[in-house]
Every structure is written in structure tokens, then in C-alpha cells.
Amino acid sequence: MTSSPAFPRVHIATDHAGMELSAHLVSHLTAKGYDVVDHGPKEYDALDDYPSFCINAALAVVADQQAGIHALGIVLGGSGNGEQIAANKVKGVRAALAWNHSTATLAREHNDANVVAVGGRQHTVEEATELIEAFLTEPFSNDERHVRRIGKIAAYETTGEVIE
């Protein structure tokens, strides 16, 4: 299946603490019509190192977006903090930690976030699924002030210049 504006391609990655949630989301989102790409891990390892999984998912989101493919990402962990940090190291990624409905929707509406981080140990599977769905379905507002602010972040990321 290819992505469409209604159903973006979704790149997902986790650590050991988010594996149950990740498996649920892959199944749930695929059934809803999303093209889901699982960046791992493939098996449980309590000592796994999540950065590679999350960075690979983030790289795939950026590559798809640069190719004109509507794509978003999901990174999961116990808290979601480390996974968000790892994803945000990828140039072009704006990863946001969502912990309630408002933070999930505002990440897209105001920040045009392209990756969402959720803590698998912080929510029930049902709560986390609702956060993910809110993120995936919320459009960016394209409001001038938000476009301007995102542009300043991108300029710093590219040039190192802080624009007032």
C-alpha cells in the first residue's frame, strides 16, 4: 500500500519497553489503512539500545518526505524521552513527546511535528493508541506565525545561525 494524504506512511520504532505497544500499533494502524514500516527491534532484549531503531525510523521519515511521500513517525519507549531525543538528532525531524490529547494534536497543528514520541510505561495501550491517532490525523495549521517559527528552527539546524 502506498501512503495518501489521509493515510501517511508511518515509520515506527521502539525499545524493549514499548514492544507490546508497538506490536499493537503496527496491527491497529495497518488495519485502518496506514502503510506501517517497523524499524524494530524484532525481538525482546531488555538491554537493547533504542537510538539506532529511532534514528533509522526518523531517517526514513525525512527520506520519504524529501521524496514527496506523506510520512510520519512514531518512537516508543518507557518514557519516550530518550527516543524523542534520538529522533530529534536527525536533520529535518521535529519530534514531540505526547502525553495527552492536547500535546499530541498541538505537536502537529502548531509545530508540524513529523515524529511523535510516547512512553509505553506511561499509558495504557488504549490511551497511547488514542494519542497516536490524534497525532496522525491532526493537520498542520499553516498559520504564518507557526511557519515562521519552524523556519527559524530549520535555519538554525542548517546554518547554525540564531534568527531573532
Is a pLDDT exceeding 50 seen at residue 2? no
Catalytic residue among 110, 127, 133, 146: 110
pLDDT at 1 over 50: no
Q: What is the pLDDT of residues 87-138, one digit of tens each?
A: 999 999 999 999 999 999 999 999 999 999 999 999 999 999 999 999 999 9
16 is catalytic: no
Q: What is the pTM of this model?
A: 0.94
Residues with Cβ within 8 Å of residue 71, at least 6 apart in sequence: 3, 8, 9, 10, 11, 60, 61, 64, 65, 114
- Look at residue 48 in the predicted model and tell me its pLDDT: 84
**Local confidence band at 5 (pLDDT 50, 70, 90 cut-offs):** low
Please state at what angle helix 125-137 crosses helix 19-32, rounded to 10 degrees.
50
Give the active site residue among 11, 16, 83, 123: 83
